[in-house]
Structure 1
Amino acid sequence: MNNNKTVLVTGASSGIGLEFAKLFAKDGYHIVLTARDEQKLNEIAHQLKAQYSVDVTILARDLSLSDAAEELTAEIMAKGIEIDILINNAGFAAYGPFIETSWKEEKDMIQVNITALTTLTKQLLPDMIKRNRGKILNVASTAAFQPGPLMAVYYATKAYVLSFSEAIDYELRNTNVSVTALCPGATATNFEKRASLESSRLFQSGAMDAHEVALSGYTALIKDKALVIPGIKNRILASIVRFLPRKTVLKVVHYVQDKK
């Protein structure tokens, strides 16, 4: 089908973001793709156009740069593109004790995981409200439900994403605009390589497929659900931490994050 609606997907060059782009293209949405790698985005755009006959717009941006998100929305508006659905997927992590990790990397992480996500929501939400239709999905994580020794800043950024998403969705409860927080656990993408997590107990214990995670988020978004945690194991773990002493939670998270 072709519903003439347009979705913006950030972090669309691989992993969950790429799977979201495929799912929306399959259902006839026009796609706006953004990520740092313009060549990769062009390859994806060619594939989506050929397979699904949808319009695909490429806007390469590095969202770790302070003005990138605002420049992105300004260009979208200048092109006269109306964004019906926003998928805030871009994000990354850094691994190691806070005292040893790179401040630049963590500052960039805060910029991408929090500031860019909030900026895009702030810029695109008003038009959705004016049209009284629209959907936003913010990719948080099961990391949002507890503090994370060895990935302290990353876990904190995802706690922000979850809290922010649930609050805004509640504020919009009397409109036809919804916000969904997607909280995946370990997922097989380039994420774990960038964060040097391949050998951690967390990823050694098994990771979900990126398509499966994106499909869970896509289904929840269409149904206007405020929160979705893909996978039974992840849902159980997210629930259990609420009942455990905080010191126990910290010990467990440190253990699974640690490398064998």
Structure 2
Amino acid sequence: MPTALITGASAGLGAEFARQLARRRADLVLVARSEEALSTFAAELRSEFGVAVEVLPADLAIEEGVERVEQRLERADDPIDLLVNNAGFGLPLQFADNDIADEVRHLRVHVEASMRLMHAALQTMRGRGGRIINVASVAGFISRSTYSACKAWLIQFSRWANAEYARDGVSVTALCPGFTHTSFHERMGLAPGHEGVPAIMWLDARDVVREGLRDAARGKSVSVPSLRYKVIVAVAGLLPRSVTAGIARRGRV
């Protein structure tokens, strides 16, 4: 059976990836900060789908946490077939007003940890084959503080890596959803229904994951779920940065 390692797996898109992959009979390695939440979720998945689920508590904002996951990815005797770099969090858009320690932690989780885990996964995937999905965002196509910058890096790196490692049987896909119903915005202190975003712009997590897995299987370097967000990305590419940045500032997230 294939084995998938998912970061940020206890909630949101990470948990949805786990459910859909377990339904497809994949064994799982679940990574998140809370061992209790992971263990509870793992028990549910084992009971419902009958798959093997390994729990790996790790905080990707600290060196020890990243190293623990790297070591698991580098195990040639029990290799990972699919890596889903999903862990992440948001910050208020006012960069100058944010605590710089929070900004550094934000950069480390979104960029450094994703890069290092990709590097570790490639050690066993090259020549054997494998898939990597980096959960980015449509924010990576516009100017919106450091969150956009992190996601833009992830998109560009995924595009390059997908072309570079195709010869080794490895595909790398940047999954770029728009606003998606998960706990992400609640963790930023925004109550559901108060994010300042029209209802039509919200996506369902099940659809986002389903489309991301499909595009990864097709070897696509970038996956933008839903037609409406594909149009937004295409239009954003034609507008000056000053215009897209001004539009982005109107939202609360």
Question: Normalising by structure 1, what TM-score?
Answer: 0.91
Once the two structures are TM-superposed, the CA of residue 160 in structure 1 deviates from its matched residue by 0.7
Q: Hey, what's the Cα distance between the residues in 2 that align with 1:125 and 1:88? A: 13
Q: Hey, what's the Cα distance between the residues in 2 that align with 1:137 and 1:59? A: 19
Q: What is the match of residue 44 of structure 1?
A: 41
Say whether residues 1:221 and 2:249 are aligned partners. Answer: no
Alignment of 1:1-260 (within 5 A): 4-75=1-72, 77=74, 80-131=77-128, 133-148=129-144, 152-198=145-191, 199-202=194-197, 206-255=201-250, 257-258=251-252
Conserved? CA contact 1:183–1:228, under 8 Å: yes
Q: Hey, what's the Cα distance between the residues in 1 that align with 2:199 and 2:103? A: 24
Once the two structures are TM-superposed, the CA of residue 130 in structure 1 deviates from its matched residue by 3.4
Distance change (3 Å), C-alpha of 1:42 and 1:240: same
Once the two structures are TM-superposed, the CA of residue 197 in structure 1 deviates from its matched residue by 4.5
Q: Hey, what's the Cα distance between the residues in 2 that align with 1:107 and 1:204? A: 32
Q: Hey, what's the Cα distance between the residues in 2 that align with 1:197 and 1:130? A: 45
The one-letter code matched in structure 2 to 1:211 is R
Conserved? CA contact 2:83–2:132, under 8 Å: yes
What SS does the corresponding residue of 2:95 show, helix, strand or coil? coil
Q: 84-93 vs 67-76, which deviates more?
A: 67-76
Q: Hey, what's the Cα distance between the residues in 2 that align with 1:13 and 1:7? A: 14
Once the two structures are TM-superposed, the CA of residue 44 in structure 1 deviates from its matched residue by 1.1
What SS does the corresponding residue of 1:59 show, helix, strand or coil? strand
Q: Hey, what's the Cα distance between the residues in 1 that align with 2:76 and 2:167? A: 30
Conserved? CA contact 1:94–1:195, under 8 Å: yes
What SS does the corresponding residue of 2:174 show, helix, strand or coil? strand
Distance change (3 Å), C-alpha of 1:241 and 1:66: same
Q: Hey, what's the Cα distance between the residues in 2 that align with 1:73 and 1:97? A: 33
Q: Hey, what's the Cα distance between the residues in 1 that align with 2:65 and 2:197? A: 32
Distance change (3 Å), C-alpha of 1:76 and 1:241: closer
Runs (5+) with no aligned partner, structure 2 = none
Q: Hey, what's the Cα distance between the residues in 1 that align with 2:110 and 2:157? A: 12
The one-letter code matched in structure 2 to 1:10 is T
The one-letter code matched in structure 1 to 2:134 is N
Question: Normalising by structure 2, what TM-score?
Answer: 0.93
Q: Hey, what's the Cα distance between the residues in 1 that align with 2:200 and 2:131? A: 34
Name the % identity.
32
Aligned residues: 251
Q: Hey, what's the Cα distance between the residues in 2 that align with 1:248 and 1:96? A: 16
Runs (5+) with no aligned partner, structure 1 = none
Kindly provide the CA deviation profile for residues 71-102 of structure 1, in whole angstroms up to 9, marking residues without a partner as x.
22214556942101100011111013111112
Q: Hey, what's the Cα distance between the residues in 2 that align with 1:205 and 1:97? A: 26
What SS does the corresponding residue of 1:63 show, helix, strand or coil? coil
The one-letter code matched in structure 1 to 2:62 is L
Kindly provide the CA deviation profile for residues 130-185 of structure 1, in whole angstroms up to 9, marking residues without a partner as x.
32x1000000000010111xxx1111100111011001111123231100110000
Q: Hey, what's the Cα distance between the residues in 2 that align with 1:74 and 1:48? A: 24
